[in-house]
A and B are shown apart, each in its own frame.
Chain A
Amino acid sequence: MIEPLTPSKLERARAAREVATALSLYLSGKIPRAPYLDVRLHHSSRAVSD
């Protein structure tokens, strides 16, 4: 049985996509420093590199 989509599940999946994309870029060595991820500001996501 397929689990229903919920807002929290969607948020978690989107956060995971953000993390995974950042992880891939970081491990590639194309970003000089590890990224800083922040989702608290203005109820929206901010993702910046240190």
Chain B
Amino acid sequence: MFGSIIRVALSRIDREDSENLAEVMADAVLFGQIVESRMLGVTLPDPAKFPAGVNAALARAMTSAELWKPIVNSLTELLLRDGRVTGAQFATVSECGNTSGGLTTGDRLGRHRLEDDQLKPSSLVARRRKEASQLKHEKELHHG
């Protein structure tokens, strides 16, 4: 029933920026598999028993699975509860929810940081409306 994200992502991927594409796709697939395996309680293999390239990718996926566990859980809860996760919700949770090292992912990406109450979907809609209203007001002032 699941499994279409890879196909759709491949069709929407930025082909102008195809550098490291194979590595990115391999990392994404491996990360997803590690997350699923962990959730099912499957014993994960020891990365040290694999050749260097596989070892590095596997270790990276395992570390990422631990680091991103709260975000994956939040998005999964949202997906199973509502049956969908919008792009705005996905961006908000993924960019603001991981505060490892005292910084959110959004901070590390140089994006504006949201407060906790702004992470709620209803607050997000209200914030977008407020921004649109301010923009409209500024345009009116500019033209007036």
Contacts and interface: CB of A to CB of B under 8 A. Distances in A.
B21 to A, nearest CB: 7
Interface in A13-49: 13-40, 43-49
Interface stretch (B46-54, B70-78, B128-136): B70-78
B8 A48 contact: yes
Contact of B36 (A14, A22, A29, A50): A14
A22 B13 contact: no
Nearest to A10: B40
A27 B93 CA distance: 12
Q: How large is the interface on B (under 10, 10 to 19, 20 to 34, 35 or more residues)?
A: 35 or more
Contacts of B24: 24-25, 28, 30
A19 B84 contact: no
Interface string B1-42: 111111011001110010001001101110111111001110
B30 to A, nearest CB: 9
Interface in B53-92: 64-65, 68, 71-73, 75-76, 79-80, 83-88, 90-91
A43 B71 contact: no
Given A13-B36, A37-B84, A22 B90 contact: yes
Contacts of B27: 24, 28
Contacts of B3: 14, 18, 45
Given A13-B39, A34-B91, A45-B3, A40 B84 contact: yes
